[in-house]
Structure 1
Amino acid sequence: MERKTYYISLAEGSISQVSTASSWDYQIQATDEEITHLREIFDQNYSSDWQGFWRAHIPFVQYHYDRENDAYDNGLQQAFKMIYELGDEATKAHIKDQGLMDDLIE
């Protein structure tokens, strides 16, 4: 399959083939199937984020004790791992420098 260049904004959950369309944080090379999978991860995170928003209005469980937050955290780690694996050298260096993926990066 042919790989294309994509520009990713993790905070916005956006994926674009145009570098000037919006702000972006990471550049990756991916197939159509890989982009579909990354979009599914972003969509799951968006849904989990909204669920967390509604739960935050009933503050009887602290964040680190709320198992529902695991879905969002795991989704974020999956997205970072996938972006790292598909990323260019600058993307990989940036993610390594953040130190958030030390346990997931080989």
Structure 2
Amino acid sequence: MANEHEASKNDRKPYYVSVQAGSILEDPTVAAYELAITANEEELNRLQELFEEYSSMDEKQITDYWTNPIIGAGVDNDLILNAGTDGLLVDIYRLLYELGTEETKHHVATMGLFREGSLQ
């Protein structure tokens, strides 16, 4: 079992990620990206699932935001819109930190999303 796990870690390839666009690229020249990672197929699938979940939740929250009758009734609208997506963004950035190059790890660590030392 340890050999299988070790083999999957060695099957990592470089990828280029845009969190803003929700994209994972193999070729850094085809579109803009913010962060570089190395990932195996399983890790890549995990990141893709987080992006899909984030996109779905974001779309649902926008729809709910515009159709919710309590909007504008003294409720912090930004809080309603962002509450669910914030947790997913933290999960995405934590995974990007784990898979990231040294430059990516440094960038994520200095974003202020995580308590000092919590990414180690």
Task: Identify the residue that residue 119 of structure 2 maps to in structure 1.
Answer: 105
User: By how many angstroms is 1:69 displaced?
Assistant: 4.5
Runs of 4+ in structure 1 displaced over 3 angstroms? 68-71
* Structure 2 stretches lacking a partner, 5+ long: 1-7
| Per-residue deviation, residues 28-85 of structure 1 (Å, max 9, x unmatched) | 0100110001000000000000011112213154343x4x854321111110000001
Task: Identify the residue that residue 20 of structure 2 maps to in structure 1.
Answer: 11
- On the 8 A contact 1:80/1:101 being kept in 2, the answer is no
CA RMSD of aligned residues (A): 1.7
**TM-score normalized by structure 2?**
0.78
Task: Identify the residue that residue 31 of structure 1 maps to in structure 2.
Answer: 40
Matches within 5 A, 1:13-92: 13-57=22-66, 58=68, 59-60=71-72, 61-62=75-76, 63-64=78-79, 66=80, 69-92=82-105
Aligned length in residues: 104
- Distance in 1 separating the partners of 2:51 and 2:93: 11
Higher Cα radius of gyration:
2
**TM-score normalized by structure 1?**
0.88
Helix, strand or coil for the counterpart of 2:91? helix
* Structure 1 stretches lacking a partner, 5+ long: none
Q: Which moved more, 1:44-53 or 1:93-102?
A: 93-102
Helix, strand or coil for the counterpart of 2:113? coil
